[in-house]
Chains A and B, each alone.
Chain A
C-alpha cells in the first residue's frame, strides 16, 4: 500500500476522534479540548499510518512506542487508543468519573497502550529517550515517538533529554512538538519565547523538519520516513482548537469546556 493511500483512513479517524473527544469533555465538563484538537491529526497519523503495534499485545517488546508527554490532552490520546483497538468504546463514557480508568492524565497501569504516566510537563521526552536507548542496547528495531506541547518546551528537563538524545545519536527517536503557539494563558512567544525552535533543535543534534501538523500527507512523509543518523525533531505547526470555529486560536479553550449550545455547534462543524 502506498503511504498516501492511508490518508482517507487517517482523516476519517481524526474526525471521529475530534467528535468523540469533544463529547467526552462535554459530558464530563472537564478536559483540555484545545490541546486535544491541535494534536489529534498527529496521533491519527501515527496510529493509522506510521506505527507498528498490536492492541492485543500491548507488551509486545518490538512495538513502536508513542509517549504522550502533553498528558493533559487525554481526549486525543484516549480516542486514539480506543480507535486503535486497545479498549472498547463504551469505556470512553467514564472519562474522569470516580474510579474511571480514564483519568484526567494517563496512567499506564489503568489502560493498555499507555507507555508511561504523564501530566506534569517535561516528563515524556526523557522517558522516550530512555526507551530509545533501551532499543539501541537491545538492537531492537522499534521506533519511539514522543509528542510534547510547545509551551512544554519551556521545561528544562526537555533540554536535558535533548542533549542526551543528540549526544547518543538516537536515530530511533522522533520528537514531535505540537506548535500551536499558545500555552495555558497566552502565546508562547509573549510568555517565554521558543523561537527559533528549529535552530535550537538543530544545534542539539536533531534532524529538524517543520510541517503542517494538520496535513496527514505532510505528517506521513516525515514521520513515516526511515530513521536517519540522528534523532528527528518534527515541529508540527498546529492550531489550538483546530476544527471548531469558536475554539481556534483561543487560549481559554486550553481547558475550557462547552455548554450544550457550543457542543451542538461544534458537532455541526465537525463533519
Chain B
C-alpha cells in the first residue's frame, strides 16, 4: 500500500517538549513565569517548578483568578504562560479570557492542556471540544494547535517572543513527527503536508497525521488529496482557503466540536467567498463514555473515516 503519510519514528507526548522548551526560554528570559491551577503535574511542569520555584505560581483550584492573575503579571512586565486543562482555562474562565486577556490585550500566553477528548472516559465535563468555538470570535487572540513535537516547540518559542495574547492548544495524546522537509513555523499560515489537487484535507493538532494517512488511502484509489496542517485558527489563512476551495472539495478534521471550530471557520469562509462542498470531521456534541481511541474511531477521526468524508465531499463536487 502506498501509504504516503509523512509519518515515521515513534509517537511522542508533546507536553515533554512544551516544558523543555519553556524551561529553555525561562533560563534566558527572567520575565517568563508559569501560572497554574494546581495543574503542575498535568501540565508536566514539575521540573520547571524545581528549577524556577518562584516563577511557578500555583494559585490553587481557581481558574478565574488564575487568568486574571496572568493579566496582572503581564501588567507588571512578566511574560506569563497560564497553563491548565483546556476545558477549565476556557470554559471556567471564559469571561476572564475575554475581558482580561483578549479585550485588554495583555501579553499573556494561555496554554490549554489535554485538549479535545484526551480525558476520554472522564466524559464531557473534561473534554475540551468547545474551546475553538468559544475563543474564535476573540479576533486578537492568536489560536495555535501544534500538530507534532517540532511544531509544539516552535509555537512555544514564537508565543514567548510575540507581543500579544495567544492560546496554545496542546494535547497529551502522543503523535508522530510529520517529517516535513525544510520546515519553517509560520503562524497564521497553513502548512502544506502533502500536495494534491482533487480535494483538500484541512486538519489541525492530533488529527493532521490521520489526515495524511487518509490521503495515502485516497491515493490508492487514484484521488489526489492535498493535506494542510492548519495549526493557526486565528487569524485564518484566507489565501490557503481560497486555494483549498479551488480544489473543489474540502474536508476539515479536528479533535473538537464540528460547530464553530476549524470546520465552522472553513465553512463560514467558503460559504461567504467561494462556496464548495465542505465535510466536517469532528465531534457533534456531548459524547458517550469511551476511550480516546474509541471516540476517535467512532466519530471518524481516523484515516478510514477521513477518507470516507473525502469521498462524500467529492460526490458533492460540481
Contact = CB atoms under 8 A, between A and B. Distances in A.
B76 A131 contact: yes
B76 A138 contact: yes
Interface stretch (B17-25, B67-75, B145-153, B186-194): B67-75
Contacts, number: 110
Contact of B54 (A120, A130, A137): A137
B105 interface: yes
Q: Is the interface of A mostly helix, strand, loop or mixed?
A: helix
B68 A123 contact: yes
A119 B100 CA distance: 10
Interface string B69-109: 11111111110100000000000000110011001111000
Nearest to A65: B75
Contacts of B73: 130-131, 133-134, 137
B99 A161 contact: no
Interface string B251-291: 00000000000000000000000000000000000000000
A133 B69 CA distance: 8
B104 A116 contact: yes
A128 B68 CA distance: 8
A123 B76 contact: no
Contact of B69 (A119, A122, A156, A164): A164
A36 interface: no
Nearest to B75: A131
B118 interface: no
Contacts of B71: 116, 126-127, 130
Contact of A127 (B55, B75, B103): B75
B64 interface: yes
Interface stretch (A3-11, A81-89, A107-115, A258-266): A107-115
Nearest to A157: B64
Interface in A136-161: 137-138, 140, 156-157, 160-161
A164 B75 CA distance: 18
A179 B318 CA distance: 67
Given A133-B76, A134-B72, A160 B65 contact: yes
Contact of B96 (A126, A129, A138): A126
A122 B68 CA distance: 10
Given A157-B64, A160-B64, A120 B95 contact: yes
Most buried by B among A115, A119, A128, A133: A133
A61 interface: yes
Contacts of B57: 133
A-B pairs, top 4 by smallest CB distance, nearest first, are A130-B72, A134-B76, A126-B68, A160-B65
Given A116-B104, A122-B64, 11 more contacts: A117-B100, A126-B64, A126-B69, A127-B72, A129-B69, A130-B72, A131-B76, A157-B96, A160-B59, A160-B65, A164-B59
19 contacts: A108-B105, A116-B104, A116-B106, A117-B99, A117-B104, A123-B68, A123-B99, A126-B67, A127-B71, A127-B75, A129-B72, A130-B80, A131-B72, A131-B75, A131-B76, A134-B72, A140-B76, A160-B59, A160-B64
